[in-house]
Chains A and B, each alone.
Chain A
Amino acid sequence: MGMFGILDISAAGMDVQQARLEAAAANLANAQTTGQAGAVYQPLTVIVHSILGKHNGVASSDSLSAESLPRPAVSGTAQLDVPPRLVYDPGHPDADARGFVTMPGVDPISSMLDLISISRSYEANLRAFDVTRTLMQRTLDMGNHR
C-alpha cells in the first residue's frame, strides 16, 4: 500500500466509530418499543478489538510501517444484559396480568454520552486523516516556489 497505508488506519478508526454510531442509533430508535410475550429489545453494544497488521507481530522501531501497525476492527455486536423497564399501563395491549408493560432498558443519558464520545472520536480520526493529507500535499508542492 505504501504511502496510503496511513490513510487506511484512519479509515479503520472511522469504520469503528460508524459501527458504534449505528448501535447507538438503534438503541435510541428502539427505546420506546414494548416487549411482546417477554421478548423485549436488548440494547446493543459494539465490541472492538485491535488487530495487528499484515506483518503479524509488534512493530519494531526499525521497520515501523503503516501496514504493520495494529488497527481497530469491529469483532461483533453484543446484547447488553440490562433489566427491562416496567411501565404501568394497564390499557396497553402488551401489558401483563398486573398491568405492566416491559420496555427496553435503554438509558437515555448514557446513550447521549455515547453519542458525544462517538462524535469526538470520529472527528479525531478525521483530523488525523486531514493532517496526513495536508502534509502529503505540502510535500508535493515542495520546490515549486522558486
Chain B
Amino acid sequence: MSVEAIATVAAQQPVLPDGMTGIEQATGPSFETVLGGLESLNAQLLNSQNATMKLASAQAPESLHHTVIGMEQTRLSFELMLAVRNKTLDAYQELMRMQV
C-alpha cells in the first residue's frame, strides 16, 4: 500500500503539546540510587546472619543483646524497603488502571 500521500506529514517533527519543545530527560534520582540502597540493605542482612552464626557457634565477639538489636534493625530496614516498594508499585498500578 502506498503511503506517499502522508509521507510529508510523517517526516515532520512529532506533535507535542503546547509549551513543550522536545522530550527531556527526567530529572531527579534515578533507579540506581534505589539499587544502591538495596545493596546496603543486603549487606546489613548478611551482617546479621554472620552475627547469628557466630553467636550460635559460641565465638561471638558481641553480646546477645547486640546481636538481637542488630537483627531487629535489619528487620525494620527491610520492612521500610518493603513499604516503599509496595507504595511505588501501588502508584504504578493506579496509573496503569487510569482510563484514557
Q: Which residues of chain A have a CB within 8 Å of any CB of chain B?
A: 4, 7, 10-11, 14-15, 18, 129, 133, 136-137, 140-141, 144
Interface pairs (24), CB distance under 8 Å: A7-B69, A7-B72, A7-B73, A10-B69, A11-B65, A11-B66, A11-B69, A14-B65, A15-B63, A15-B65, A18-B63, A18-B65, A129-B69, A129-B72, A133-B72, A133-B76, A137-B76, A140-B76, A140-B79, A140-B80, A140-B83, A141-B83, A144-B83, A144-B86
Contacts of A136 in B (CB 8 A): 76
Q: Which residues of chain B have a CB within 8 Å of any CB of chain A?
A: 63, 65-66, 69, 72-73, 76, 79-80, 83, 86
With the chains together, A38 CA to B34 CA distance in Å?
67
- Tell me the minimal C-beta distance from A83 to chain B in angstroms: 34
Contacts of B66 in A (CB 8 A): 11
Contacts of B80 in A (CB 8 A): 140
With the chains together, A136 CA to B80 CA distance in Å?
10
With the chains together, A129 CA to B65 CA distance in Å?
11
A130: nearest residue on chain B (CB-CB)?
A: B72
With the chains together, A11 CA to B69 CA distance in Å?
8
With the chains together, A137 CA to B76 CA distance in Å?
7
Q: Which of A11, A18, A141 has the most CB of B within 10 A?
A: A11
Contacts of A15 in B (CB 8 A): 63, 65
